[in-house]
Amino acid sequence: MPQNPLPIFLIGAGGIVNDAHLPAYRIAGFRVAGIYDPDREKALQTAQKFDIPLVYYSLEDMLSRSPGNVVFDVAVPGSEILSVLQQLPQGAVVLMQKPMGNDYAMAKEILELTRSRQMTAGVNFQLRYAPFVNAARDIIRQGLIGEVCDIEVNVNVHTPWHLWKFLYSTPRVEIVYHSIHYLDLVRSFLGNPESIYARTIPHPGSPGLASVRTSMILDYGERVRANILTNHNHEFGLRHQQSYIKFEGTFGAVKVKMGSLIDYPTGVPDSCEYVILEKGRAPAWKTLDITGSWFPHAFIGTMAQMMIAAEGGIPRPDNSVEDCIYTMACVEAAYTSSAGGGVRLPS
């Protein structure tokens, strides 16, 4: 956590801000000093709900009256991030909502802009800071399960896509707005894959959406298997909905349940289980007590990284644009693979 948290100026007052950003900052004790949204009524309601003292009439109004040493929290759709960044001051500290632009080409523009403007810039890939991920990472760092040789993400849920109207007008949906989290997470454990095989497709039950189901294989050579499987249209009750990340090592394993995605937005409790092989004993799984969840607690981690970097505690945020550009490269590779198709059978 930062020693001297900077005041936060929010650009955007949508659902993710109200459901995750602001509850997380309240838990962490971070001060939100002002907010702007093109929908002024939405901004006023958010400000009243979370005791934000200033609501600005425009982005120009915010920038003209904000002090120099702040964090700009840019919570707008990917297509709008670049235009907002172009208006922020030289050397600004900025946390942008994922994705890092609509596609890899835009991500590269964002990277070059933040470099040329000498910004301390990061992306809100917050899953890597979720409490259950922190627990799994701690177990792995201690070497308790040996060498990690298998990571699997499996999401079979019913997602209410109607909550995000803007997704119905974008040509890319599932990978760039959801599975991008899992690509970023796997990268945070294993580094960049050699290549990606992927197929992302729509569903008859979600007309108007470009894709809501994805299968991906991340190629890390012959020692490691990494798979991501998602289906957001399992509308057959909660009995077989599931949402988990499994890490297997050479002599142990960790499995975490991402409860936020099941029965969304209500959610169910998260869980974190692990097993370590002991000679002469049958495998026995144990449960860790986890405090907090992906929403909202993981959002503390992304903002904390920005503040720690701004005060000089680390050279740059763990979630910096310099790192997250590779997550966007993985997204682009997945879409390219999906468009290219598989190997056809011999005639």
The residue with tokens 């959406």 is: 209
pLDDT at residue 186, rounded to an integer: 98
Encode burial over 202-237: b for 16+ CB neighbours within 10 A, e otherwise. Answer: bbeebeebbbbbbbbbbebeeebebbbbbbbbbeee
Order across the sheet with 8-11: list the strands: 54-55, 32-36, 8-11, 71-74, 93-96, 120-123
Query: Mean pLDDT per segment of 10 residues, for the chain of length 347 residues?
Result: 94 94 97 97 97 96 92 94 96 96 94 97 97 96 97 97 89 95 98 97 96 98 97 96 98 97 92 95 95 94 97 95 97 97 90
Q: Are 230 and 155 in contact (CB under 8 A)?
A: yes
Pairing relationship of beta strands 213-219 and 195-201 according to DSSP bridges: antiparallel
For residue 13, with 0-12 CB atoms within 10 Å meaning exposed, 13-18 middle and 19 or more buried, which class applies? Answer: buried
Q: Express each pLDDT in 22-72 by its tens digit.
A: 999 999 999 999 999 999 999 999 999 999 999 999 999 999 998 889 999
Give the per-residue pLDDT at 164.
Answer: 85
Q: What is the pLDDT of residue 77?
A: 87
pTM: 0.94
Q: What is the pLDDT of residue 78?
A: 86
Which stretches within the chain are classed as H helix? 15-16, 22-28, 40-49, 59-65, 78-85, 104-116, 131-141, 174, 180-190, 298-310, 321-340
Q: How far apart are CA 13 and CA 19, in angstroms?
A: 10
Residue written as token pair 């994805």: 214
> Tens of pLDDT along 277-303?
999 999 999 999 999 999 999 999 999
Domains of the chain as residue ranges with CATH: 8-125+297-319 (3.40.50.720), 128-288 (3.30.360.10)
Candidates 22, 2, 5, 9; CA nearest to 295 is 22
pLDDT digits (tens, 9 = 90+) for 73-91: 999 988 899 999 999 999 9
